[in-house]
Amino acid sequence: MIPVQGYAGQTVAVLGLGRSGRATAAALQAGGAHPVVWDDSAVARDAAEQAGFDLRDLTKPRAFEGVSLLVVSPGIPHLYPTPNPVIAAAWDADVPVDNDIGLFFRSFATAEWEEFDTMPRVIAVTGSNGKSTTSALIHHILVENGRPAQLAGNIGRGVLDIEPAHDGEVVVLELSSYQTDLARSLTPDVAVFTNLSPDHLDRHGGPGGYFAAKRRLFAEGGPDRAIIGVDEVEGRYMANQLSEGPGDDRVIRISSGQKLTGEGWNVFARKGFLAEHRKGRQVGSIDLRAIAGLPGAHNHQNACAAYAACRTLGLGPKGIEAAMQSYPGLPHRSQVVAVKDGVTFVNDSKATNVDSAAKALAAFPKIRWICGGLQKEGGLDGLLPYLDHVSKAYVIGREAEGFARQLTGADVEVCGTMATAVAQAAADAAAGEVVLLAPAAASFDQYDSFERRGEDFIRCVTEAVG
């Protein structure tokens, strides 16, 4: 646990008692603060009370009297589409609002670090797609190369629930836009921006607000090294804003699909090969094609980001390549779950938006595609260029018929349920084809998370292939 510094003897309110909220309350208490907690859920409140925390109904008048800070969980909106009433009440009471990420960056460094030979480092990863894989891959590479490391944030443990840093340790954080948008302190040593595509637009008031939330990690965080995916215009803009000139190697540009030239520090992947260029010369390369845990161009971009992050810490290309070879991949992200009679079954349930689903479709030439769910804003037009990879689409979800009508030109079957879709796709598939779950939609019409959806896919595949 990371005890929160700066609030000893003070009352701090915590709104939201999920994983991060519970860890925050405990870390505040460990740092000498007096947390008072609240959640809309009676079950969550009862669990917190049984754990020894004091409840305070933050929706009541005068709830913020004597409160020094309000800490909110990432899922609670603070601005768009409308501010949560408790947050608005804190504003009215002149009580600062923060989240666990801000408290982590204020509290991570301690006096004990003065005795360390090598200062601990924080690598923070954000972006629309690939940040979980990139974060997990960085952590895997570090561990495989004998570097002490912890993985936290939007993946794994809550940031305040990790252990205090050891000499030379690296903490890898996956940070969502919900987390970077509100944190009052953001000071990573290395910051990674994978890419940007439309997502969470209602929460951020549109694409500009969404990008601004991501950009805070760099513009306000002031990392020593910034690793920027430049395959979208926003990444190119941000790399230019952060760089002082062509040879500024504090900014490392990464790409999947285009060769990056110039005098700066560039890492890119083309046709399955990763290349590192510095000062106009190639200094490292990796053949990514045979790495089972990183299939497709989108994962090659993740590999570029992880490679660049680890190079900033002094790891050599050969050590990074060896670690990538043993990377097992993450559940629900291009996860191969079965191979039967030449047909491969791939679980990419985390492909919850059009851009991530398009990248999954681009990764395989012949696909039996299981898609559908709670559709996000913007329609499905971004998928149409990839439908030539699709032998047939099998649509699930409560709005399956409406989803199917948007897949112009594709052979489509409305299945409704996962069991029906998997059984039909497995029966239709021929050797050399991939049965791919890449929903291009949220899961909440039929499942409570993308993880549950992926688990149901795996169960149905197991039943179908025996």
Q: Which residues are annotated as a binding site?
A: 127-133
Amino acid identity for residue 268 in this structure: F
Q: How far apart are CA 256 and CA 142, in angstroms?
A: 22
| Count of beta carbons in the 10 Å neighbourhood of residue 75 | 12
Cα 311 versus chain centre, distance: 21
CB atoms within 10 A of CB 379: 11
For residue 345, give the nearest of 441, 439, 466, 457 by alpha carbon: 457
User: Starting from the edge strand earliest in sequence, which strands make up the sheet with 434-437, in order?
Assistant: 335-340, 343-347, 434-437, 367-371, 390-396, 412-416
Question: 336 burial class (0-12, 13-18, 19+ CB within 10 angstroms)?
Answer: middle
Whether 307 contacts 320, CB under 8 Å: yes
CA separation for the pair 168, 120 (Å, rounded): 5
Locate all alpha helices (DSSP H) within 374-417, ordered by sequence: 400-405
Sole residue written with tokens 């694409």: 207
Paired with 244 in beta bridges are none
CA–CA separation, 274 vs 272, rounded Å?
7
Half-sphere exposure of 112 (CA within 13 A, CB side): 9
Q: Which two tokens stand for residue 373?
A: 């769910």
Rounded Cα gap, residues 272 and 216, in angstroms: 32
| Binding residue numbers for ATP | 127-133
CB contact set of 394 (below 8 Å; sequence gap of 6+): 368, 369, 370, 371, 412, 413, 415, 420, 421, 424, 425
How far is the C-alpha of 442 from the C-alpha of 199, rounded, in Å? 11
